Amino acid sequence: MGKLEGKVAIVTGAGAGIGKGIAKVFAREGARVTVAEYNAESGQQTASEIEQEGGQALFVQVDVGNKDQVLSMVSQTIETWGRVDILINNAWSSRAPLARVEWFDDTTLQSAFEVGTMGAFWAMQACYPYMKEQAYGRVVNMCSLNGVNAHMYSMHYNMAKEALRAITRTAAVEWASKGINCNVICPAAKTEALSKFEAAAPDNVKALKNAIPMKYFGDPELDIAPVALFLSTEESRYVTGNTLFVDGGSHVNGSPWAPELPEEL
């Protein structure tokens, strides 16, 4: 039996990168996985790969910045699998360019907050009654060293992720007596998003990599997913309210996030 045999997991942003890595590892460990993804093609691809490996997957197309769609995601999971045990809030999407604090507008910040913070909050609230009833729940919210270290020019992302960390810690305290553990992972992984940033700022990414004591960006399946797996099992029964930096040690001395921007627009 796998470590998640009989469990049901929702993984948002499971069409690529860290979310995909977690979804596939969870399925291999016996979980039935709701692959929640905005991009239908990549989401269906993840679900198909899980099924080809002998796992069980349900693809749900969802914009996590839309409350009705988030609630529907949870409802479809319950209708299909009959329960929900694990919630991995990983989805993030923003087309906003890097910008100085004084350049940001309300619309960009509101969108970042809805996708990066509220979407996870809505999902947590929707899963809570089911987790409470079965006296078992695991919530893992993917946040970022960007917010912890207040990296320059990504205020919208930093804000959203640090707000989510606060929600996670508060829920950890309030839900602990219900058998629901809530934790945060701040990862450093080689994903499609990092590759795009590397194409635009190769010197910055090289500096980031060199600042990692282990000297490499983690692999979503091999380095990040196993930690999410631990936080989703009975083995983590006494772990809640924590932020785990799964980053090769880069959080110890901080990372040199310093892309170049002009002083004025």
The whole-angstrom separation of Cα 223 and Cα 206 is: 20
User: One of 38, 128, 130, 157 is an active-site residue; which one?
Assistant: 157
Segments of 170-229 assigned E as strands: 180-187
* C-beta separation of 80 from 2 below 8 A: no
Q: Please, how many CA atoms are within 13 Å of residue 6, restricted to the half-sphere of its CB?
A: 5
The whole-angstrom separation of Cα 225 and Cα 91 is: 15
Phi, psi (deg, nearest 5) at residue 246: -100, 80
Structure tokens belonging to residue 15: 């069409």
Amino acid at 140: V
DSSP assignment letter at 218: B
Longest dimension (CA), the chain: 59
* C-beta separation of 11 from 34 below 8 A: yes
CA 36, 41, 44, 49 torsion: positive or negative?
negative
Per the annotation, the verdict on 157 as an active-site residue is: yes
Structure tokens belonging to residue 52: 């080809």
Question: Tokens 């692999």, residue?
Answer: 219
- Residue 88: name the closest of 35, 158, 160, 49 by CA: 35
The whole-angstrom separation of Cα 213 and Cα 250 is: 6
Catalytic residue set: 157
